[in-house]
Amino acid sequence: MDQTKTGRFIKEQRKQTGFTQRELAEALNISEKTISKWETGNGMPEVSLMLPLCKKLNITVNELLSGEKLDEKHYIEKAEENIVSLASDRTKPITKTVIAAVSCILSILLSMAIVLTASFVEMPSWARIVLISAAFVLIFCNIALVLVVAVNTEIFTCDKCGEKFVPSLSAYILGPHTFLRRYLKCPHCGKRSWCRSRIRKL
């Protein structure tokens, strides 16, 4: 994604819809400085603000991330590019976490719909088995996605020596944990402790 291009697009759409920076900021319950930051390409709207912003500017989130109005022909192509861009290594860790969480929730809902369909719609037994198996594979794949994203966006602080480290995927999966801590072996001091988790900053 090109932040400068997106910023120019936000500015153009704001003017077209008749908003001043102050009016748009008040409508979104944020500071005028934040709007200015977006428009100059020095920042991007937070995920929680994207839909409200798009609603005010009469655009879609896909158009916001693309930095331009899209016709039907290029809409899907740009959507795919934006998804790849959001999932790339340059994406902020918190954004990756949100994308993984939303993907997991949607997949669970879809899997539930598949299971309900297989349970109540009349169909051959083999088709029912295929549908239910597909639902479980979908859930498994998304759990794997969440774990991979988590281990690549979290950093842990050893409770013994205070050093920060990133555990291996197997250590992350097998380590007992609470909401904020995970029982891990520190690669610096070699001791196991309840290490505190933090989202990595880029």
Q: How confident is the model at residue 82 (pLDDT cuts 50, 70, 90)?
A: low
What pLDDT shows up at residue 91? 47
What pLDDT shows up at residue 198? 81
What pLDDT shows up at residue 202? 47
Q: How confident is the model at residue 74 (pLDDT cuts 50, 70, 90)?
A: low
The answer on pLDDT for 52 being more than 80 is: yes
What is the C-alpha to C-alpha distance for residues 53 and 57, in angstroms, rounded to an integer? Answer: 6
What is the C-alpha to C-alpha distance for residues 165 and 69, in angstroms, rounded to an integer? Answer: 43
190: left (phi over 0), alpha (psi -120 to 50) or beta: left
End-to-end distance of the chain based on CA atoms, in angstroms? Answer: 17
CB hemisphere CA count around 89 (13 angstroms): 0
* Per-residue pLDDT reduced to its tens digit, 150-175: 666 788 999 899 888 888 878 888 88
Two structure tokens written together for 100:
């993984």
What is the C-alpha to C-alpha distance for residues 96 and 150, in angstroms, rounded to an integer? Answer: 9
What is the C-alpha to C-alpha distance for residues 156 and 178, in angstroms, rounded to an integer? Answer: 13
Stated length of the chain: 202
DSSP state of 182: E
166: left (phi over 0), alpha (psi -120 to 50) or beta: beta
Q: How confident is the model at residue 34 (pLDDT cuts 50, 70, 90)?
A: very high
